[in-house]
Amino acid sequence: MDQKTFDRGLEIRKAVLGAEFVEKSLASADDFNKPMQELTTEYCWGAIWGRETLPRKTRSMLNLAMLSALNRPHELKMHIKGALRNGVTKEEIREVLLQVAVYCGIPAGVDSFRVAREAFQEVEKS
C-alpha cells in the first residue's frame, strides 16, 4: 500500500462521504474485510478521486449514473449524499437519473429515483 495515496484517499473519502461514516466503516473492519477498506481508500479515493482533471462534482454525477446502471442501491444512496456534499443539486441528480432511465432502462431509473428520495430524506433529517 502506498501511504501517501492512502492518506489522500482517506481525506477525500471523508470529505465526500462524511468523516463519521468513513471512520465507522474503518473502525468496524475486521481481518476479513480490512484489506477491502484499504484498497477502496487507496485505489478508488486516492488514486482516482485524487486526480484533479475532473472536479468532484463531475465524478459524483458519473458515479450516480454508473451505480444506478449497476443496480447498487446501498452504494448509490451513499454517493447521492456525497454528491450533495460535492455541490450536485437535486435537479442535477434528477437529470442524471432520467438519463439512466433512458439508457439503462426504466426499472433502473425507477429504483434510482426511489433511492434518491430516501437519501434526500435522510440528509434533510440530519
Query: What does the pLDDT look like over 29-38, one tens digit per residue?
Result: 999 999 999 9
**Residue 1, pLDDT above cutoff 80:** no
For residue 7, give the H/E element and its range. Answer: helix 3-17
Instruction: Give the residue range(s) of CATH 1.20.1290.10 domains in the chain.
Output: 54-126
Helices 90-104, 56-69: inter-axial angle, 10-degree rounding: 40
Other beta carbons within 10 Å of 1: 12
The pTM for the full model equals 0.92
Query: What does the pLDDT look like over 48-99, one tens digit per residue?
Result: 999 999 999 999 999 999 999 999 999 999 999 999 999 999 999 999 999 9
Q: Which CATH superfamily is domain 54-126 in?
A: AhpD-like (1.20.1290.10)
| Structure letter (DSSP) for residue 52 | S
Q: Which residues contact 64 (CB under 8 A, 6 or more apart)?
A: 76, 79, 80, 83, 88, 93, 96, 97, 100, 112
